[in-house]
Amino acid sequence: MRVLLTTWGSRGDVEPLAALAVALRELGAEARVCAPPDKEFATLLERVGVPLVPLGPTVHSVVANPNPPTAQDAFQLAPALVTARFDTLTAAAEGCHALLATGLMPAGARDVAEKLGIRYVLACFHLLGLPSRHFPPGRRPGTPSPQEETDNRVLWEQDAQRVNALYGEALNSHRAAIGLPPVDNVRDHVLTGQPWLAADPTLCPSQGRTDLDVVQTGAWILPDDRPLPDELEAFLDTGTPPVYVGFGSMAAYAPKDIARVAIEASRAQGRRVLLARGWAGLAPIDDADDCFVVGEVNQQALFRRVAAVVHHGGAGTTTTAARAGAPQVVVPQIADQPYWAARVAELGIGVAHEGSAPTVESLSAALTTALTPETQARARAVAGTIRADGATVAAKLLLDAASQEFRS
């Protein structure tokens, strides 16, 4: 059995596919991944022996600029990604029995699968983009909804119109070129009526939250047995557990001066600091020995040895910290990050920072709560509920679905 997995997004979109690919391989299937050609992603996939088929531009070239991408950028990127999917996935999916897509609105993936006559699955890592009568849609480039509109059903209809404006013309043009009829609702076409949710049920309960028939598999966690670097081990061993601070791929979105704020706030709590450089390029503010900078490391091992994790609220970081039993301070910036911040607070395993630009005082206050024995105990208790078998669950489901499609 051969399966194609595809995404266009940050590491939080690529690493779960690597986990799923490994799980598929362990079940005897062959999996390949179509993803952005960022060096970081290529290295990640090479480490686990999964082939990477480059798709579209690098994510770093789009997001790692002084200013966040604009609406104009989005209207240029969307059709370009549609074209890239038709071109790249058509060749990559040849001989495959299923195609699973995730990441930034993967318009074009279902259409390639339809043309090839193979099973298509849409997977997501949160509920933000799934239509629901219970909450409004997230922000999306295009004509905004009127401020006075409060009916969630109307707001989701307007969200579908924005998706059509971004992707519709390019998608239907490519469909026509391969003999497929047009679609009138790109978002619902991409999502299908039964998307898969690759998120832990404790952190992201789905029952009754969306109007779609969601299949929740659990988070797709890639096992990581890499040792920590010797220099980092030495830093961890020479004092009390530090506060970890990282903002992942939030290059243009990371709070201004966040390294200084985080270092001073941690010092105010009597804590050492571990800065994750990331795409935001976090760096020390002085040469004091209570601060250490790391690049890409085994977070699964590292988070078990820190006092708290201060981060942006990506699905992957939130899940890794929760599974490690580390108290969290989430400083959300965009997209699904406010949701994860809220869940961390609701579960009592950390703090949702109010506002996206912390001060020394506000971050220090958040750390005061996160570092209490009560929060620490709650974080350890919840850690025991986070499942690690989501990728295996999904792999079995995918192979079963592909087999049924093949037999029919």
Please give the residue range of the domain that contains residue 399. Answer: 2-222+388-407
Q: Are residues 55 and 192 in the same domain?
A: yes
* Stretch 269-278: mean pLDDT: 96
Q: Are residues 210 and 245 in the same domain?
A: no
186 in the same domain as 51: yes
Mean pLDDT of the chain: 96
Angle at 386 between CA 377 and CA 4, to 5 degrees: 150
Q: Which of 54-68, 119-133, 229-243, 256-270 has the lowest mean pLDDT?
A: 54-68
Band (pLDDT 50/70/90 cuts) for residue 393 is: very high
Residue 408 banded pLDDT, cuts 50, 70, 90: low
Q: Are residues 217 and 253 in the same domain?
A: no
Amino acid (one-letter) located at 129: G
pLDDT in tens, 358-389: 999 999 999 999 999 999 999 999 999 999 99
Distance from C-alpha of 158 to C-alpha of 172, rounded to nearest angstrom? 19
- Give per-residue pLDDT as tens, 131-145: 999 999 999 999 999
> Within this chain, do residues 140 and 195 fall inside the same structural domain, yes or no?
yes
**pTM of the shown model:** 0.96
Instruction: Judge if 100 and 239 occupy the same domain.
Output: no
Same domain membership, residue 322 and residue 200: no
Q: How many independent structural domains does the chain possess? A: 2
pLDDT of residue 270: 97
Q: What is the dihedral sign for C-alpha 86, 92, 93, 94?
A: positive
List of residues 6+ apart from 154 with CB closer than 8 A: 145
Burial 48-58 (b: 16+ CB within 10 A, else e): bebebbbbbbe
- CA distances (Å), origin 298, targets 32, 167, 224, 343: 23, 37, 6, 24
